[in-house]
A and B are shown apart, each in its own frame.
Chain A
Amino acid sequence: MTARDPMPGTSQESPLLEVDGLSVEFQTRDGVARVLESISFSLARGQTLGVVGESGCGKSMTALALMRLIPQPPGRIVAGQMRFEGIDLLGLSDAAMREVRGNRVSMIFQEPMTSLNPVFNVGEQIAEAVRLHQRLDRRAARERAIEMLEAVGIPAARKRVDDYPHQFSGGMRQRVMIAMALACNPSVLIADEPTTALDVTVQAQIFDLISDLRSRTGTAVILITHDMGAIAEMADRVAVMYAGRIVEEGSTADVLANPLHPYTRGLIACAPGRRTATHGEPLEEISGTVPSLLERGAGCAFADRCREVMPKCRIGLPAETRLAQGKRRVLCWLHADASVPGAGGAS
């Protein structure tokens, strides 16, 4: 439904990755669940897009859909387009998609221990990606693995390349994952909660590493997190997801300074211990929980938790409102008439 530039190739600089109207359904025993509903965003070269929201909002599902890793069945991409460097990802054969996945678009997951194979040393695991995608021979692939381990700051990389995952600490394992993901020089790195399992000082190291590699290689990053602090730290733009939809999107500075959607406001306000919060005063709460997939009606899924809910919120959703020359958008009746005529969609 979002009106994007209808003529590809005419724009000055086409985005690296463009997702338009992506919807995903899962067949369950109790019916069909829409886990993603009309997800649209674009990612420019070298940019970091943060995706934030509570568990069950569809953040990881969006990442899996981008990698075409949604288990099928029960899942199914029912609508939408994903264009990466001008290629229609959904139109690719499985073999062609494998050329993209792990090579030009790669991903790091939350749990570094479960995503590394415990019976192979880390060098072989990094080298495997390079051998498969870049057709390097064993020796060259091993050299590339050592080079990558050095790039992610593993001390004595030449020695440690033959070590097994259990010989590394949590932070080091996540570095190995990043080395593996970046070994083929991808254009897009999807990081799904890359630091959730790590200590704050190690999290800071990993964030520095990702920022540093991004500025050196120009890799664009999609950072999935539930932590607004991580968004503030890392992301150029932020998409706030709720119950399978993007409810607000904009530059990180704008969204944090002036959140428009009540959900975004809640996410920012409920974080404890910020400078502005006073001790002894209760924190802002978002009452209730994310509604289950099958309980999402036609209205706004946030209505039951929203402080500013109006009767029409329960009936339907407004068209997306575009603000700041289309650089910001929000999906909420509170802002439905702030839209520039013609840009958002007259209801």
Chain B
Amino acid sequence: MNKPLLEVQDLRVHFPIGGGLIGKPRAWVRAVDGVSFSVPRGTTFGIVGESGSGKSTTALAVMRLVRHTGGSIRLDDDDIGTLEGDALRQARRRFQMVFQDPYASLNPRKRAGDAVREALDLMAYGEPQARPARVAELFAQCGLRPEQQRLFPHQFSGGQRQRIVLARALAANPELLVCDEPVSALDVAIQAQILNLMQRLQKALGLTYLFISHDLGVIRHMCDQVAVMYLGVIVEQADRESLFARPLHPYTLALWSAAPSFDPAARGRAQRIRLQGDPPSPIDIPPGCRFAGRCPVAQARCHTDAPLLREVLPGHRIACHRVSDNGKPDYELAATIG
């Protein structure tokens, strides 16, 4: 593939707990703890994981909305991880974000057209007199009618609001769109509308997506490359075909088999991997593999040595002691994959 548009190296986001202004923090929340990936231009990179896995924090760090405590973020030739002040504001034209909740991410007192127009004004996009035409174009691209520019957010349904959010994010013609659970708050029928719209926009505008979701179905439909995160680290990463055809990490398998299948005949409980308990806290990260405590096939060394993320098959990286260097798992887990 061509040169990546987004390249994230060893990203770390640690939040201090306690300590106040001058005191030493009592502890650190290691929300993102050494994450690396790269996203080729025009493709979609998905991050999937449960709450607390660090997927949203990764998105916010890439957007420069939380301070990363280590690692680098490069967009094309720009080191956006080190930009500050006006330089960062200028660079923001190139990367924009879509949040989960379209009810919360639109100002209720601003008309839909003005919300999009404001983005153009703030980023000084094009000549002021050309901006109304640009707003109209964005509305059309996102499947909104021109007269809807005059309406307020409460007059729209959730799906339409997400269209406004998309129009606003696309205002300054960004290259990268970071989408944090963009359809999770929507009804399933509306989800399909927004996902289709996002795919059409990607094709038409050559967009690159960093796509965060907890929903494996959505990830499978949208993404070219997928990373599975658990407790701040990537445990498995591959292109869509190999990840869904041959998931290697026990956590990926468990995630898959937990997702309800549409086939009532596949209700065979015995074939399901059931994880016990919840993910551990990102404050007291256990030594060894972070998943070991819930892993159905963990061995003694899994609790002491942290496995490294390594490439075991072309393009397929995994962090698990129980998978050999040539991509053969030495465990048996019968998982039904729907």
Which chain A residues have a beta carbon within 8 Å of chain B's beta carbons? 54-55, 169-172, 199-205, 207-208, 211, 226-230, 232-233, 252-253, 256, 266-268, 270-275, 277, 279-280, 282-287, 289
Q: Does B77 contact A (CB under 8 A)?
A: no
Question: Which residue in B191, B214, B222 is a CB contact (below 8 Å) of A200?
Answer: B214
Given A199-B51, A199-B214, A270 contacting B192 (CB threshold 8 A): yes
Closest residue of A by beta carbon distance from B266: A232
Is A283 within 8 A of B192, CB to CB? yes
A211 vs B219: C-alpha distance in the bound complex, in angstroms?
28
Pick the contact of B221 from A204, A283, A287 — CB < 8 Å?
A283
Q: Is B247 an interface residue (CB 8 A)?
A: no
Interface-forming stretch among B59-67, B120-128, B134-142, B269-277? B269-277
B4-12, B14-22, B256-264 - interface stretch: B256-264
Q: With an 8 A cutoff between CB atoms, is B38 at the interface?
A: no
Contacts of B195 in A (CB 8 A): 272, 283
Knowing A200-B50, A256-B262, A271-B188 touch, does A283 contact B214 (C-beta < 8 A)?
no
Q: Is the beta-carbon distance between B51 and A267 smaller than 8 angstroms?
A: no
Say whether A232 contacts B189, CB under 8 Å. Answer: no
Asked if B189 and A270 make an inter-chain contact with CB atoms under 8 angstroms apart, the answer reads: yes
**Per-residue interface assignment for chain B, residues 247 to 289, with 1 indicating a CB less than 8 Å from any chain A CB and 0 otherwise:** 0000000110111111111010100101110100000000000
Decide: A201 near B217, CB < 8 A? Known: A274-B262, A282-B199.
no
CB contact between B260 and one of A169, A233, A267 (< 8 Å): that residue: A233
B80 to chain A, nearest CB (A): 29
In the bound assembly, the distance between CA atoms of A239 and B57 in angstroms comes to 39
Contact B221 A273 (CB under 8 A): yes
Bound-state Cα–Cα, A59 to B327, Å: 47
Within the assembled complex, what's the spacing in Å between the Cα atoms of A169 and B278?
A: 8
Contacts known (A227-B188, A232-B260); A272 close to B220, Cβ less than 8 A: yes
Closest to A276 in B: B262
Contact B217 A233 (CB under 8 A): no
Residue of A nearest to B269 (CB): A208
CB–CB A233/B261 < 8 A: yes
Contact A271 B217 (CB under 8 A): yes
Nearest-CB distance from B257 to chain A (Å)? 8
Q: Does the CB pair A229–B189 fall under 8 Å?
A: no
Q: Which residues of chain A come closer than 8 Å to B215, judged between CB atoms? A: 272-273
State whether B187 touches A54 (Cβ < 8 A).
yes
> Within the assembled complex, what's the spacing in Å between the Cα atoms of A217 and B258?
24
Determine if B324 is an interface residue (Cβ-Cβ < 8 Å).
no
Q: In whole angstroms, what is the CA distance A266 to B218 when docked?
A: 16
A273 to B226, CA, bound (A): 13
- Residues of chain B within 8 A of A227, CB atoms compared: 188, 260
Known: A203-B258, A271-B192, A286-B189. 12 other contacts (CB 8 A): A55-B187, A201-B275, A204-B260, A205-B274, A211-B269, A227-B188, A229-B217, A232-B262, A256-B262, A272-B191, A272-B215, A273-B220
B-chain residues with CB within 8 Å of residue A270 when the two chains form the complex? 188-189, 191-192
B29 proximal to A (CB < 8 A)? no
Task: Choose one: A170, A211, A268; the contact of B262 (CB below 8 Å).
Answer: A268
A274 touches which of B199, B217, B264, B272 (Cβ 8 Å): B217
- Whether the Cβ atoms of A200 and B258 lie closer than 8 Å is yes
* A200-B255, A204-B272 known; A285-B196 Cβ under 8 A: yes
A309 → chain B, closest Cβ, in Å? Answer: 16
* B128 CB to nearest chain A CB (Å): 35
Residues in chain B near residue A277, CB distance under 8 A: 220-221
Contact residues in A for B217 (Cβ distance below 8 Å): 229, 271-274
Residue-wise, chain B 135-165 has the 8 Å CB interface mask toward A (1 for contact) of: 0000000000000000000000101100000
Give CA–CA (A201, B276) in the complex, Å.
Answer: 9
B260 touches A287 (CB 8 A): no
Contacts of B200 in A (CB 8 A): 282
- Please give me the residue from chain A that is nearest to B267 by CB atom: A233
Query: Which residue of B has the minimal Cβ distance to A57?
Result: B187
CA–CA, A126 and B187, complex, Å: 33
Give the nearest-CB partner of B259 in chain A: A200
Q: Is B91 an interface residue (CB 8 A)?
A: no
B168 within 8 A of A: no
**B193 interface residue per 8 A CB criterion:** yes
